[in-house]
Amino acid sequence: MLKIKNINKNFGRLEVLKGISFEIKRGESLGLLGESGAGKSTLARIILGLIPKDSGDIFLNGQPVDYSIRDIRKIFQIIFQDPYTSLNPKIKIGEAIGEPILIHKILPKNKIRQKVEELLSLVRLSKEHYNRYPHELSGGERQRVGIARALSVGPSFLILDEPVSSLDLSVQIELLDLLKRLKDELGLTYLLIAHDLAVIKYICDRVIVIEKGEIVEDDKVDKVLTSPSDAYTKKLIEAGLG
């Protein structure tokens, strides 16, 4: 579905991404594992078209992705780590979820409320959450709102950038279970970014390990766990699961 080819990105003199190449098949959950500063979020922002790349190509179903069209947002969506800063504190939850539907003119105005209620139920929030403000929700609930908002435009591909990193363990599991279910129900494709291998192991079949802007491993999760080919990966596994 998505093919990334030889992506390079510098910030000033800092080489953040060095020749990144990989593919994601439709319906796959690919994990992207790396420590902070490795370049994971930069890569996510490039795939989404939020920042330009210096060189390299991105193909969607064989065609180079045209980031100038607004409809690209109907295909790629992102969930960020901190559900608090990614929601406007002054906007009600229901309206925040409906906003992309309005912007992309996906439904007439009078149909939006019903769609938002469907989305709330899809992420296991209740109708009564519609009129709440972000600060009236827990971290896990806010992250569900972020997911509902991302799904509102019917994307097929979700980039999840450390979606559970700031949450408590029991809430992490709830959200990961939700993400698993949504993927099956809606036939989504995931790129799940994490610094915790356990989170990737819970959801993904395949994992890419990125160290200082370079891919050092790309294989089935089971394979990587039992016999990592790279020394850095080995260190990450020992520290993260030991």
Ligand X SMILES: Nc1ncnc2c1ncn2[C@@H]1O[C@H](COP(=O)(O)OP(=O)(O)O)[C@@H](O)[C@H]1O
Binding residues for ligand X, rule: CB under 6 A, are: 11, 14, 16, 34, 36-42
Residue 14 interacts with another protein (CB under 8 A)? no
**Whole-number minimum distance, CB 20 to Mg ion, in Å?**
15
Instruction: Pick the closer one to Mg ion by CB: 38 or 123.
Output: 38
- CB closer to ligand X out of 38 and 208: 38
173 binds another protein (CB under 8 A): yes
Q: Cβ(47)–Cβ(7) under 8 Å?
A: no
Minimum distance from residue 40 beta carbon to Mg ion (Å): 5
Choose from Mg ion, another protein, ligand X, none: what does 236 bind? Cβ within 5-8 Å by kind: another protein
Other Cβ atoms within 10 Å of 230 Cβ, number = 16
Quick one: 91 or 173, whose CB is closer to another protein? Answer: 173
What is the closest distance, in whole angstroms, from the C-beta atom of residue 220 to Mg ion in the complex? Answer: 24
CA-wise closest residue to 148 among 187, 129, 122, 176: 122
Binding test (CB under 8 A) with another protein, winner from 47, 112, 158, 199? 199
Where are the extended beta strands (E) located within 179-224?
189-194, 206-211, 214-220
Q: Which is nearer to ligand X, 16 or 96 (CB)?
A: 16
Please report where in the chains the tokens 């030991």 appear, as a residue: 242
- Spatial contact of 233 and 224, defined as CB atoms under 8 Å apart: yes
Binding another protein by CB under 8 A: which of 15, 28, 35, 205? 35
Q: How many CB atoms are closer than 10 A to CB 101?
A: 21
Q: Is residue 207 within 8 Å of 31, Cβ to Cβ? A: yes
Rule CB under 8 A: say whether 202 interacts with another protein. yes
For ligand X, the closer of residues 12 and 242 by Cβ is 12
| Residue 39 touches which member of Mg ion, ligand X, another protein, none, C-beta under 5-8 Å by kind | ligand X
Residues that bind Mg ion (CB under 5 A): 40-41
The one-letter amino acid code at 82 reads D
CA distances from 222 to 50, 192, 198 (A): 33, 16, 12
CB of 182 to ligand X, least distance (A): 23
Nearer to Mg ion, 59 or 232 (CB): 232
- CA dist 227 → 28, 163, 234 (Å): 22, 27, 8
Answer yes or no whether residue 36 interacts with another protein by CB under 8 A.
yes
Burial group, residue 78, by CB count within 10 angstroms (0-12, 13-18, 19+): buried
Task: Please identify, using beta-carbon distances, which residue of 156 and 165 lies nearer to ligand X.
Answer: 165
Report the C-alpha gap between 34 and 38 in whole angstroms.
6
Q: Give the binding site for another protein (CB under 8 A).
A: 35-36, 139, 168-173, 195-196, 198-199, 202, 235-236, 238-242
